[in-house]
Structure 1
Amino acid sequence: MLVELVKVAKFPWSPWLAQIRTPYGSTAVRWRGDPAAEPGEVHVEWTVDEDFRWGQNAKPAAASGPDIRAGGHCVILQGLLSVEEDGATVMDLGGSLILLDITGPLPENASGAWIELWVEREKISLYPYVL
């Protein structure tokens, strides 16, 4: 996904965090690139290091369409969920695919539905890459 890197900062109690803007919203998440990265456009891959349990930190979205927003110490991601034939669970976030670890059962109609995920910002990372 192409994002606008606003700034990279570190607080004594946190890892390096990147403040980003996307066409779908803005937030701050863990930064896995150069801490001295300059502001500007950068391609990133999203990874999530958290298990999701339906009804706790994963639920149906109130509306359709991708969305990224801050929610206290969490990041709220809204995307299209799909369960692949091999059992892999993937969220499509505006064309970027994020592999998810789902624990517990999903509702029958979850695959193909818009969902919200609540993720602690230290458990979601952006890895920059060059095309």
Structure 2
Amino acid sequence: MKVTISRIVKIHTENTFVEFSTPYGKGLSSLFTLEARENCSYDIEINIDDDFYWGKNIFTSMSNAPSIRHEAEETYITAELTSITEDGCGSLKLGNSIILILIKNENKDLILPSLIEISAIQITLYPTNT
């Protein structure tokens, strides 16, 4: 996925905390590179380390379009949930990108594919063309 670094929030010794923008909106994450620059674009892979629980931080979306937004330290992503394995690995499709998440409980009423919204805190962007 192509993202642009909107602003650098904090620089740490191992990674940088940034606000990023995409065609779907803006989010907050760690960026696993020390060379991050504001207003520069990167091809990235998104990694989300949160555990997701239906009704707590993963919901069926009321929206009909993918999006990314953030409030305080949480980033909200609306994307298409295309599959869930028996061990809870879920695949989200956001544009042409696939994001893997771990879903800890079952939603028996869900029909796949389905548009869902997650709220995540532990997001890391990994540049793929460096």
Shorter-chain-normalised TM-score: which range? 0.7 to 0.9
1:95 aligns with 96
Residue identity opposite 1:40 in structure 2: C
Distance 1:94 1:129 in 2: 17
TM-score (norm 2): 0.85
> What is the aligned-residue identity percentage?
25
Q: CA deviation at 1:94?
A: 1.7
Distance 1:85 1:58 in 2: 16
2:10 is the alignment partner of 1:10: yes
Gaps of 5+ in 2: none
Tell me the alpha carbon deviations over residues 67-104 of structure 1, each in whole angstroms, 9 at most, x when there is no partner.
00002220001000022566641011122111110001
Cα distance change of structure 1 residues 110 and 19 upon mapping to structure 2, 3 Å threshold: same
Map 1:16-95 onto structure 2 (within 5 A): 16-33=16-33, 35-38=34-37, 39-83=39-83, 88-95=89-96
1:117 aligns with 118
Q: CA deviation at 1:108?
A: 3.3
TM-score (norm 1): 0.85
Task: Verify the 8 A CA contact 2:28 2:123 in the aligned structure 1.
Answer: no
Task: Verify the 8 A CA contact 2:50 2:120 in the aligned structure 1.
Answer: yes
Task: Verify the 8 A CA contact 1:8 1:31 in the aligned structure 2.
Answer: no
3-state DSSP of counterpart to 1:17: strand
Gaps of 5+ in 1: none
Q: CA deviation at 1:128?
A: 0.7
Residue identity opposite 2:46 in structure 1: W
Alignment length, in residue pairs? Answer: 126
Q: CA deviation at 1:11?
A: 6.4
Tell me the alpha carbon deviations over residues 18-44 of structure 1, each in whole angstroms, 9 at most, x when there is no partner.
2211110012211112x2322311101
Quote the RMSD (CA, aligned, Å).
2.1
3-state DSSP of counterpart to 1:99: strand
Residue identity opposite 2:119 in structure 1: W
Moved more, 2-11 or 74-83: 2-11
